[in-house]
Structure 1
Amino acid sequence: MVETVTLSDGHTMPAFGLGVYLNEECAEACMVALQNGYRMIDGARLYKNEVQVGVGVGKSGVKRENVFITSKVFHTDFTYDGTTAALKDSIANLGSSYYDLYLTHSAIGGKDARLAAYRALLDGKASGMIRSIGVSNYSAKHIEEIREAGLEMPVVNQIEASITAIGSHNHCEEAKTVISYIHSASKNPSSNTAYSPLVRGALDNPVIQELSTKILIRWSLQRGFVPLPKSSQPERIISNGQVFGWNIEPTDMAKLDALDRGKEGAVTWNPVDVD
């Protein structure tokens, strides 16, 4: 898995990673993923597994500097001091001196709170605790308020990007912000509740039945997204990573693209329109 994307701040990020949402005991999953070619782990304070991510990275045998690790601060901490404290706690939990990417987890809380949290992350970056800064669940208006405040733009917006909800991402391209998202690559109900599942509730669609899970992950790569399939099962983690070295034919890409229903196609928590 050597494909990477270059972020607007000049840093590179793997084009594919492991999501650890709903997996508080994720150390083994992280270890297995890294030992099988993954080089990105996406966590969050809300997930309550930052310590486990650090343990898994340590057990993997892969050097810390070769792993791209993300976490997020939740909107309940959206003050300058609250976000600063959360970031310092995240650093301590990980057992590392920095995060490669740190995000504001949602747009909830209002403009003043969002900007206060974002400024705290900028100062965290200046102090060396963060290498890159991004956002999650932001719409165009939320990204634009960062620009209007004269602040450094986010390099990543982690939002829902399932095959039924891909039509609202032009603002990310315009802002040179990479779309990253968590999605479950499993039809198993026990692991199919991650952010942006592969069209949970619509698996009887003949197009989806025709194409495999790997095709759906490969679709997202070819769309220019950065998928973060979530699983706690070693065999599935390995299988999910077998999406490089081949391409989906244009006719099949067209079939998947045609399923887009914009915001109506959203299947999970998706607070991108909050004030």
Structure 2
Amino acid sequence: MSSVPHITLNNGVSMPQLGFGVWQVPDDEAAATVARALEAGYRSIDTASAYQNEEGTGRAIAASGVPREEVFLTTKLWNSDQGYDATLRAFDASLARLGTEYVDLYLIHWPLPMFDRYVDTWRAFEKLYADGRVRAIGVSNFQPPHLQRLLDETSAVPVLNQVELHPQLQQEQLRTFHSAHEIATEAWSPLGQGKDILTDPVITGIGTKHGRTAAQVILRWHLQLGNVVIPKSVTPSRIQENIDVFGFELDAEDLAAIAGLETGTRLGPDPSTMDYTG
């Protein structure tokens, strides 16, 4: 059984705090990679229509022997499918690719404020939730003004916002907004997308202190902040390493040192200007 702790979302649904992401995993490799993750004890799998690996992900879950109700499955609506009717069609297509009757969490992948469709898209999400086809609905890459508009104009508060978050982009203001509205914070690219942070002397020094790798230190930092985290790897040893983060704890000195690594540096697009729909 998985030793990963769970958090309770604002609609009462329970979700593992540490999951497995499959961004950039080709579909023909996703089945084997997700199978390894499930064998290692992960019970939360995060995919997206845009990743083009929903089919491989779904096959792995079906073949794993793990009961479907024990796997927390997340997928996301791609930008070109925003809008009420288009969202409902896109959800049906994702379900077919995944080979499942429901998903546990469905996210709007990006707000695309310049197209002004995310409120209508969210109303379609509310329908999917009301119809019992999704256990929880949330967003990804939303900033406080986008979230506030959903709060003002619709009835369902997102359960979660999945955003870029790592020691160099700690998103304190956004996390504060989330806390005020009982929205969980989930970190994508939790380890960054390069080797800089994994070789940072602050991180490696904390790792030496605790007998842990740099990646384990960063994942532990996320967990102690209360973030949900979805590290991705295709390397079996790293898949195992990334879930082995519950046998130690960072102290106040460690947390303060990591807080000092904030630079505001984004590795991905700015959600306020990102307009790609290809």
- Per the normalisation by structure 1, the TM-score is 0.90
Counterpart among 245, 262, 265 of residue 247 in structure 2: 245
Q: Label 1:200 to 1:2 Cα distance change in 2 as closer, same or farther (>3 A).
A: closer
- How many aligned residue pairs are there? 262
SS in 1 for 2:4: coil
- Contact 1:78/1:109 (<8 A) preserved: no
- Contact 1:157/1:180 (<8 A) preserved: yes
Counterpart among 8, 13, 16 of residue 15 in structure 2: 13
SS in 2 for 1:131: coil
- Contact 1:155/1:176 (<8 A) preserved: yes
Deviation at 1:125, TM superposition (A): 1.2
Deviation at 1:29, TM superposition (A): 1.3
- Contact 1:163/1:198 (<8 A) preserved: no
Instruction: Tell me the equivalent position of 1:258.
Output: 260
Q: Deviations over 1:69-117 (max 9, x none)?
A: 0000012111111111110011111111000000000011447400111
Whole-Å Cα distance in 2 between the matches of residues 85 and 109 of structure 1?
21
Structure 1: state its 5+ residue gaps.
Answer: 186-196
Counterpart among 70, 78, 84 of residue 66 in structure 1: 70
SS in 1 for 2:168: coil
- Per the normalisation by structure 2, the TM-score is 0.89
- Contact 2:112/2:273 (<8 A) preserved: no
Q: Deviations over 1:122-153 (max 9, x none)?
A: 11112221110000000111111011113201
Query: Letter of the aligned partner of 1:213 in structure 2?
Result: A
SS in 2 for 1:69: strand
Counterpart among 165, 182, 187 of residue 188 in structure 2: 182
- Contact 1:139/1:273 (<8 A) preserved: no
Whole-Å Cα distance in 1 between the matches of residues 216 and 153 of structure 2?
41
Q: Label 1:199 to 1:163 Cα distance change in 2 as closer, same or farther (>3 A).
A: farther
Query: Letter of the aligned partner of 2:203 in structure 1?
Result: I
Instruction: Tell me the equivalent position of 1:100.
Output: 104
SS in 2 for 1:168: helix
- Contact 2:10/2:159 (<8 A) preserved: yes
Deviation at 1:245, TM superposition (A): 3.0
Percent of paired sites with the same residue: 34
Whole-Å Cα distance in 2 between the matches of residues 68 and 202 of structure 1?
29
Query: Letter of the aligned partner of 1:248 in structure 2?
Result: L
Instruction: Tell me the equivalent position of 1:140.
Output: 144
Which aligned segments of 4 or more residues in structure 1 are displaced greater than 4 angstroms?
198-204, 272-275
- Contact 1:102/1:133 (<8 A) preserved: yes
Whole-Å Cα distance in 2 between the matches of residues 61 and 274 of structure 1?
39
